[in-house]
Structure 1
Amino acid sequence: MFLGSFPLLAQDGNSDSGFWLWQLFGRLHPMVVHFPISLLIFAGFLELFTFKNFKHPLRPGIRILALAGAVSAVISAVFGLLLASNEGVTGQILDIHQWIGITSAGLSLVLLFLLRKRKPKTKAIPIYRTLLFVSGIGVGLAGHFGASLTHGEDFLTEVLPWQENVDSPESITIDLAAFTSDLSPDQEVLLATNVRSVFAHNCYKCHSGSKIEGELRLDEKEFVFAGGEDGPILVAGKPGESEIIRRISLGKNHDDVMPSKGKLLSKDEIKLLTLWIEKGAPWPDGVAQQSIYRVAALAPRKPNLPPAKPGLENPIDRWVDQYFQQNELDWSEVVDDRTYLRRIYLDVIGLLPSPEELGAFESDPNPEKRVIWLQNLLERKDDFAQHWLTFWNDLLRNDYTGTGYITKGRFAITDWLYTSIRDNKPYDQLVKELINPTEKSKGFIEGIRWRGTVNASQQVEMQAAQNVGQVILGLNLKCASCHDSFISDWKLEQSYAFANIFADSTLEVSRCEQPTGKMAKTKILWEELGNIDSAASRAEKLRQLADQLVQPANGRMYRTVVNRIWKQLMGRGIVEPADEMDNAPWSQDLLDWLAVDFVENGYDLKRLIFQIASSRIYQSQSIAIASPELLLAENFKFQGVVRRRLTAEQFSDAVSQLSAPLFDSAEVKFRPYELIPEAKPSLPFARAAVVSNNAFLTSLGRPNREIVSTSRDSQASLLQALELSNGERLNQSLEIGGKNWVDRYPESEQLTKELYARALLRAPSDKELAVAKKAFGETPDPNEVQDFLWAVFLLPEFQMIY
């Protein structure tokens, strides 16, 4: 970009566009940039074959590819700078593309320096290889963001099969023929709201705070009427003289057509914009409150319960029955005792029931035994707390090790959290202590204090705003932390005003990492909930925020938590994704009723779990889903519990129960009995929830808790398959487990029957027993039992919650 600052470059008399030759070179950038992408990546690929022998026959070819790739990366970066300085494109994506490209070009220069010698010193080889791989990855990333600039941010993802049902909603929601006379105030608002919808669905990719082509933004009123680098885009009352109408009306192959990429506007959309300009381009202040996106109600709502039916007395079942009738769906059969007991044990305390417990349950004559056993499980305080600790650790980004703990830039909340779960602390109180924290609960809003320079959107105050929004309110503020969101109505100023509540001093607003000079206001996201005293201390602001958020009038907060608990037990939320509570629920009535009932009954999380797990729909047959994308489909129909895989922690605990402990004492980072003396360990092994993360747990889906994680993938992965097939940790457990089983059960048939009973809660079939006898002979060998254990652990019957 510095080249454009020299006066001699502007020789064509147009100081805005620059010298024609530099413009030409700049426009060669898209062509030149493909050379380093292909050459460096291919060179890196070939380099993989030379790790055991640097003097591999491929070396001359790799050298030529790396030289050509490095030179073309530098040339491409220069041409890219010329393009950016002469074409008037700005925005966040360009900045990312530009800096990745410049960094990759810089690394390529160093790579060229190393390549000047045909025989580098041995100690320089790792440096050379690192530079080659990083440069290749860098130019590939730069190319990706370049494609986002030219084709839109969803250029890659929009063709994926699961994106077929997530197209932009229809933007025309009015009858244009009704606007033939003078517009009423309400009609002006309606017309302008639909105009905003057209802009959002068709134009924001290139003309919003994220990316600004031609100095034109269409995401706010003042920018629309200001126009772009060529002046105003519309003349109020005169669509025939308005540049925007001319451009959207052109044919697909015309140089000036807009949008220049993707689908053209429909005839109805062009008619709408034409009519809007013809009517004087009204944009009343009320348009700001008329969302083009679905916005869930804030206030609570408690609809009247449908009438009960025999066997459907639980309020949840009454709402589900109404939904089934409306959608012509049938109730499935209730599961047998074995399936139900295994399901509630895993869902409530995260452990497998024993054969003895199953026997007692099946022989219990009490018709209310399922309710009684469920209640007894909820009263196993420490088993319950250790299981649900995983859920809340993911949600509140709490962990035992990781970024920030060594430098005191992060604070664990484990002691406070465990006690809160164990004591069944009312949810409103739990939230108040997270937002207006004690010393033990401050880690959530303090977030991670990253070392070095961080993005403005990663300041701890903005982290707090984002995380409170996501976790407690089911709201995505991440886009609006950098610029005005183009996936919702949230504005940058609103995010900063919310973040300012968590700040010691007033924050300066930064747009796309550029300080604006404007100081943030101090406001809650919904002013209906109350005001925050901007002059108060941080502690007082947090107290006010906590009091205002937890009040019953904040129906959104309680819909969010009941939706999360429902998803945890049922496999799919009433609203999906669970962090986007403005999305339509499959049953608005059920969601609203559950949220109000939760408030009216003391914000009791255990009661909510009991209410769901005692319903008939929870006790019904599970539903197999072919692909997780179907759970997010717009035409999703709820039919019951979604069949799902054991979590990393559930699987690990089950292996430790049946084979040998997976984790040693050094990995245990939290010991409940040290915090609560009466919480004596009830198991002869450390539960996975209280150990630090490791490769085994990561492969099974335990997330990195440096960010909020509110959902885990239940699909098996290649990494999981490799770990379960060749992982050292599982193998060690199986080795010990094989010996232990042979010591306890030296006879093959007895061992087989006992293992099936403890792992699968059933007897082996005749065929299974015959296979085991054939494999073991009369007396099993520990190595054979080790393989047998492994085979059982890989069975879908073991790994799935049915």
Structure 2
Amino acid sequence: MCMLLQSTGTFWLWQFLGRLHPLLVHFPISLLCVALVLEVIDWRKGNNALRGASRILIFIGTTTAIIAAILGLLLADNGDYGAPLLDIHQWAGIATAILSGVTAFFLQRNNIKAYRGALVLTVLGVTIAGHYGAMLTHGDDYLTSVLPNQQSAEDSAGGTDFVLTNHGALSEQQLLDLNLQVRTILAHNCYSCHGEAKSKGDLRLDGKELMMKGGKGGAVVVPGQPDKSELIRRITLPKGHKEAMPTKGKRLTDKEVEILKFWIEKGAKWPDGKEKSIYRVARLEPRNPEIPPASGDIVQPVDRFVNAYFRKNKIEWQPLVNDKVYIRRVYLDIVGLLPTPLQVNTFLADKRSDKRERLASELLLRNDQYTQHWLSFWNDALRNDYSGTGYITGGRFDITKWLYMSLESNKPYNQLVKELVSPVKGSEGFIKGIKWRGTINSSQRTEMQAAQNVSQVLLGLNLKCASCHDSFISDWKLDDAYAFANIFADTLLEINRCDKPTGKIAGTRMLFPELGEISVTKDTELRLRQLADMLVQPKNGRLYRTVVNRIWAQLLGRGIVEPVDMMDNLPWSEDLLDWLASDFAANGYDMKKLIYTIVTSRTYQLPSSSVKEADEMMSESYRFTGMARKRMTAEQFSDAISASFEPMYADTAIVYKLLPEDLKKNKILPRAALVKNDPFLTALGRPNRETVSTSRMSQANLLQALELTNGSKFTETLKKGSTHWRSKYPTSDALIDALYENTLGRKPVPKELTAAKKIVGKLPTEEGIQDLVWAIALTPEFQLIY
């Protein structure tokens, strides 16, 4: 008899049947959900055509739901599950089984209204029970762990491996590294409940004295004795125990637990003086690294740094792209337009060895085209738009005229920054932000917006988290954010923590004290002039690394540092980034020279590459091999259609009042960058610019697909264009050749010509022309920048 019992004292058959619960439970879930879908279809159509199928699904689903609930009870009796989650899952499962029976009862009685209501409740019960079942099986962060910015617990312990069995004394450096790992574990797992913002049980773990003091229950760390330390006891309790820690999120990994035990065993040492940050902090000062030696035809400094990177990572240089790819790429990147067939053919026929450098120089001299293309990039970053929240009420000001003239005149970047931070006439809108109507969160007031936007756009750091509470992703504190915001404020701001007043005032100071001190004065304009002068100092290398990294990302599809707003992250080539920033400063902060340096490098001319998953671009294991393949921006796509087929915005309200006077006089038709946002541009990725936007998604999405297949603006454009093309090209062959050359810069290959003729017809029809242009516009060759 004893052999028939397991160690739990439960008959083996009940244990076996209990373990069938996970196998059986998905059956009623799917059947009941499908039954609801069928019932919705019947309800929409106003008939009961699918009721017979629903009836079968309901009765089978009800039977299996009851059996699954019984097997679940058997599994609960002999399984090792935490009580709180188990109770919710168990009762939700029982309720679902009962509700499914009620549903079947009402269906049998033909009480359709009651049946439908009970069916909805049953599926809701199935959803709740299934969710908590998944949490029991996979952890209580089963869903949230895949959301953005959720750091894996496996990675939170840092990168240094310790010999945890080391019984000897640790060196000073080993102690520092060990302490860094310990504080990393605590920061990612404990500070949310035991930090400055919240200290449950009066326990804080974010400082040496605070941790050693303990909480309401006394000390939590006994140096040298991990087995007597309450901290270790709590983190090793079974999952679901009411005293187990952490109470939320993932449990600590075995490795993390061992590190904490080892740290306590070694005396729980905490370094005196200024602690090393658990986050990487990039240097502030500039650095001009030595340029690696030339090798063969690799002579340009950018290429020499990349060559050193390639050698280190065992990456081979690929052959450069051909002239057709280069001219299309550089046209779109510098002026945002497709080259015309004449421009392509002229470039291909040019035999000069430096023709690519000459082309880049010529494009950069096209001031109007350059400006109207790069205006979108800066509008996104500086939160400048032509309509939207704040303009009607006077709570927002555009900077379009000032920005247009600044780009057209190639204003040095340091001067542009000074005029943004300490505004001149026309540039005030950036730091004034949006004055929202009604009650707002304290972190959204205009002074705090200025602090957030200046730090994000100009310095590549995130101050938004620290505007509400101490940041969990950096060392920035709430006090830092308010002190910086006070530079922009007419009166000192009271600190609000999570929108609750604290009664404290932060004072006024720079984010980086090394750059200088702001005068304590009521003169806001004086403070802003001081801030502007301090930010653009040559010793503020961070300012110039940030903009260089943004331009590199715009041209090559991925920054040297990613995300571009987190400049403390590790660059894939720190030497290249630092040299580009130093060279930028040495050349008078000339943005056009920076662009020229990049687009004439062999590195820029390498074949483009793509990744299988978008998050690979942000991965720490990312390896640079060349330009990341990019999708045309909304403005580039719109302008490409306009130039090669039909002006999309000929009848759209153009924002002439925002243009410089000389453009109005010359009647230069603005491109998509100077058009108010609309559903078409929004679908293709243009942001609303109520918040700073320093990058756009390059991946295609459902909204874009719907707009390009059913959108009214695109459809109307194709209709208007087809009339023009039909009158200009009466024969199919000539029309097809011209369309391909205008859009793709080449003639169609035989297979394409055959297919195009079938679409257009022997004698071109307007409908056929529309279909052909639509087909070409949706091809990757047209939409992507290779």
Name the TM-score class by shorter chain: 0.7 to 0.9
Q: Which residue of structure 1 aligns with residue 781 of structure 2?
A: 797
The alpha carbon displacement at 1:221 in A equals 4.9
Q: Which residue of structure 2 aligns with residue 258 of structure 1?
A: 245
Residue segments in structure 1 that go unaligned for 5+ positions in a row: 1-38, 59-135
RMSD over equivalenced CA pairs, Å: 3.7
Matches within 5 A, 1:641-652: 641-652=627-638
* Structure 1 residue 567 corresponds to structure 2 residue 550: no
Q: Which residue of structure 2 aligns with residue 773 of structure 1?
A: 757
The range that moved more, 456-465 or 380-389, is 456-465
Matches within 5 A, 1:338-349: 338-349=324-335
The SS at the match of 1:544 is: helix
The alpha carbon displacement at 1:334 in A equals 1.2
Cα distance in structure 2, aligned partners of 1:427 and 1:456? 32
Could you say if the C-alpha distance between residues 513 and 180 of structure 1 is closer, same or farther in structure 2, counting changes exceeding 3 Å?
farther
Q: Which residue of structure 1 aligns with residue 194 of structure 2?
A: 207
Cα distance in structure 2, aligned partners of 1:555 and 1:223? 36
Q: Which residue of structure 2 aligns with residue 542 of structure 1?
A: 528
Cα distance in structure 2, aligned partners of 1:179 and 1:679? 82
The SS at the match of 1:541 is: helix
Could you say if the C-alpha distance between residues 681 and 360 of structure 1 is closer, same or farther in structure 2, counting changes exceeding 3 Å?
farther
Q: 2:205 aligns with which of 179, 202, 218?
A: 218
Cα distance in structure 1, aligned partners of 2:603 and 2:446? 42
Could you say if the C-alpha distance between residues 711 and 331 of structure 1 is closer, same or farther in structure 2, counting changes exceeding 3 Å?
same
Cα distance in structure 2, aligned partners of 1:623 and 1:733? 32
Cα distance in structure 2, aligned partners of 1:213 and 1:456? 25
Cα distance in structure 1, aligned partners of 2:513 and 2:207? 21
Q: Which residue of structure 2 aligns with residue 594 of structure 1?
A: 580
Name the amino acid aligned to 1:707. T
Aligned residues of 1:162 and 1:629 also touching (Cα < 8 A):
no
The alpha carbon displacement at 1:690 in A equals 0.5
Cα distance in structure 2, aligned partners of 1:308 and 1:315? 8
Could you say if the C-alpha distance between residues 756 and 440 of structure 1 is closer, same or farther in structure 2, counting changes exceeding 3 Å?
same
The range that moved more, 379-388 or 292-301, is 292-301
Q: 1:158 aligns with which of 141, 145, 166?
A: 145
Deviations 1:494-543 (A, max 9, x none): 11111111111111111111111110121111111111112352111111
Could you say if the C-alpha distance between residues 344 and 486 of structure 1 is closer, same or farther in structure 2, counting changes exceeding 3 Å?
same
Q: Which residue of structure 1 aligns with residue 718 of structure 2?
A: 734
Cα distance in structure 1, aligned partners of 2:439 and 2:36? 33
The alpha carbon displacement at 1:366 in A equals 1.8
Normalization by structure 2: what TM-score? Answer: 0.79
Cα distance in structure 2, aligned partners of 1:443 and 1:364? 46
Q: 1:248 aligns with which of 235, 239, 254?
A: 235
The range that moved more, 699-708 or 305-314, is 305-314
Aligned residues of 1:305 and 1:315 also touching (Cα < 8 A):
yes
- Aligned length, in residue pairs: 679
Aligned residues of 2:39 and 2:50 also touching (Cα < 8 A):
no
Q: Which residue of structure 1 aligns with residue 441 of structure 2?
A: 455
* Structure 1 residue 524 corresponds to structure 2 residue 510: yes
* Structure 1 residue 715 corresponds to structure 2 residue 699: yes
Cα distance in structure 2, aligned partners of 1:523 and 1:48? 63
Deviations 1:288-336 (A, max 9, x none): 4x11111111111111101112322211111111111111111111111
* Structure 1 residue 576 corresponds to structure 2 residue 562: yes
* Structure 1 residue 760 corresponds to structure 2 residue 749: no
* Structure 1 residue 788 corresponds to structure 2 residue 772: yes
Cα distance in structure 1, aligned partners of 2:476 and 2:306? 33
Q: 1:480 aligns with which of 466, 473, 476?
A: 466
Matches within 5 A, 1:670-685: 670=656, 674-677=660-663, 680-681=666-667
The alpha carbon displacement at 1:435 in A equals 0.8
Q: 1:168 aligns with which of 143, 147, 155?
A: 155
Cα distance in structure 2, aligned partners of 1:713 and 1:701? 7
Matches within 5 A, 1:92-491: 156-159=143-146, 168-171=155-158, 173=160, 192-208=179-195, 213-221=200-208, 223-225=210-212, 227-235=214-222, 241-252=228-239, 254-261=241-248, 263-265=250-252, 269-270=256-257, 272-274=259-261, 283=270, 286-288=273-275, 290-491=276-477
The range that moved more, 217-226 or 293-302, is 217-226
Cα distance in structure 2, aligned partners of 1:644 and 1:330? 22
Matches within 5 A, 1:683-694: 686-694=670-678
Q: Which residue of structure 1 aligns with residue 109 of structure 2?
A: none
Q: Which residue of structure 1 aligns with residue 74 of structure 2?
A: none
Name the amino acid aligned to 2:184. S
The alpha carbon displacement at 1:177 in A equals 7.6
Q: Which residue of structure 2 aligns with residue 70 of structure 1?
A: none
Percent sequence identity over aligned pairs = 53
The SS at the match of 1:616 is: coil
Q: Which residue of structure 1 aligns with residue 648 of structure 2?
A: 662
Cα distance in structure 1, aligned partners of 2:665 and 2:569? 41
The alpha carbon displacement at 1:198 in A equals 2.3
The alpha carbon displacement at 1:200 in A equals 1.1
* Structure 1 residue 510 corresponds to structure 2 residue 465: no
Cα distance in structure 1, aligned partners of 2:45 and 2:348? 61
Aligned residues of 2:736 and 2:753 also touching (Cα < 8 A):
yes
The alpha carbon displacement at 1:210 in A equals 6.1
Cα distance in structure 1, aligned partners of 2:206 and 2:425? 42
Normalization by structure 1: what TM-score? Answer: 0.78
